[in-house]
Chains A and B, each alone.
Chain A
Amino acid sequence: MPDQTQARSATASVQQRTDAIEAAFEVRGLKAAEFIAEAEHLTEEKWIPENGARVVAKAWTDPAFRQRLLANGREAVAELGLAMPAHHRHLVVLENTPTVQNVICCTLCSCTAFTIIGLPPDWYKDLEYRARIVRQSRTVLKEMGLDLPAEVEIRVWDTTADTRYMVLPVRPPRTAGWSEQQLAAIVTKDSMIGVARL
């Protein structure tokens, strides 16, 4: 006799489960397909690390902007036409120095300032980073390729509320005289998370 229990409990694939929700939304007139296309545009073209890179390059070249950015991140990025979702009420910009390395994480889920630095990469949302970065910061950064000198103090920021963080990396000395556009081109998402230096 076939095992009915087993047959009934076979879990649908993630694709099938996604299809099911999408279809349930569609038949209720919730315009799922339309919104999926719109979201694709946002994630591919609007919420990209090039936004944060512009902010960093501006902060490196305009001391008055840098002051405003450190005082009120949300208002300062708005000057560059960059918006944040209504529930992200605060953007705190963390300034690295030769002897301070800031690094951000979300041990409870995956919170990030995604409209500014881009959506979080896979490893940021993974179990290992979330479990270890708060407790073994220097070891984890070294494993990820950032071997910090002993005199560098590490500050880890756990995104446990809707305040959002971004790291302002140290401007590399080799970039003296570069234009804002040239500077923006070297700023990576990882450097704004704080797991890389430029």
Chain B
Amino acid sequence: MDGMHDLGGKQGFGRVRYALNARVFHEPWEKRVNALYSLAVKLGIFNMDEYRHAIERMEPRHYLSASYYERSLTSLATLCVEKGIVTHAELERRAQGSFPLSAPSAPGRSNVAGREQFKPGDLVRVRSDYVPGHMRMPGYIRGKSGIVVSESPAYPFPDAHAHGVKAADEQTYDVRFRSEDLWPNSADPALVHVAVFQSYLERTSEAT
């Protein structure tokens, strides 16, 4: 989905709020949330793709205003309700207030038919796919061409794995793009490497 989480290349943001030796956690509840979501993954209540997708499904205003660990908390609660571990009413009764959850999920998809094998040096283009569910293709590479640099071991296909859809594991390719191709006349020159699932790619003979 083209959600609010897909931030790469969005303009208008200011300086990174950077500090040397920056902290990971700021408040004790953040550590508890981080532990509780990993406990849920460990118990098999949900997988990492479902977890990421439930964050992406947060209402955009909520997503942008929530801290990182509030997004984690919202995903954890949403999935526990959707999986029948606890009801939304019980959570709100225990929290003594409203407990905002993420929006419902749209259908996922399985592997793309006719996906191809690539090797280092191949010129590839990212398919112009638009899906309502989870995917791990950042919007800034859609339709863009790059060069395959290497191949990763096969991983569960996120578009399926986040939705309980059956699919074969897929390799990902490390694809190298030029920032000037991604954002013509509007980027600092750099090489941008993205790990791209096989289903998101097609062979091409022309640069972007």
Interfacial residues, chain A to chain B (CB-CB below 8 A): 8-25, 28, 30, 32, 35-36, 38-40, 43, 87, 89-90, 92, 107-110, 118-123, 125-140, 143-145, 153-163, 188, 190, 195
Contacts and interface: CB of A to CB of B under 8 A. Distances in A.
B16 A16 contact: no
A128 B8 CA distance: 10
Among the interface residues A10, A17, A32, A39, which one has the most CB atoms of the partner chain B within 10 A? A17
Interface string B64-81: 100111100100110010
Contacts of A130: 7-8
Report, nearest first, the 5 A-B pairs whose CB atoms are least far apart. Answer: A12-B97, A107-B8, A39-B35, A20-B94, A12-B95
Contacts of A108: 5-8, 52, 136, 138
16 contacts: A18-B29, A21-B76, A23-B94, A24-B86, A32-B36, A35-B39, A89-B153, A122-B68, A127-B64, A130-B7, A131-B8, A135-B11, A144-B18, A154-B188, A161-B172, A190-B20
Nearest to B183: A135
B195 interface: yes
B43 interface: yes
A122 to B, nearest CB: 5
Given A12-B96, A43-B31, A153-B191, A123 B19 contact: yes
Contacts of A30: 39, 43
Contacts of B158: 161
Interface in B14-54: 14-27, 29, 31-36, 38-39, 42-43, 48, 52
B98 A157 contact: no
A36 B36 contact: yes
A137 B188 CA distance: 6
Contacts of B188: 135-139, 154
Among the interface residues B11, B76, B195, which one has the most CB atoms of the partner chain A within 10 A? B195
B58 interface: no
B181 to A, nearest CB: 12
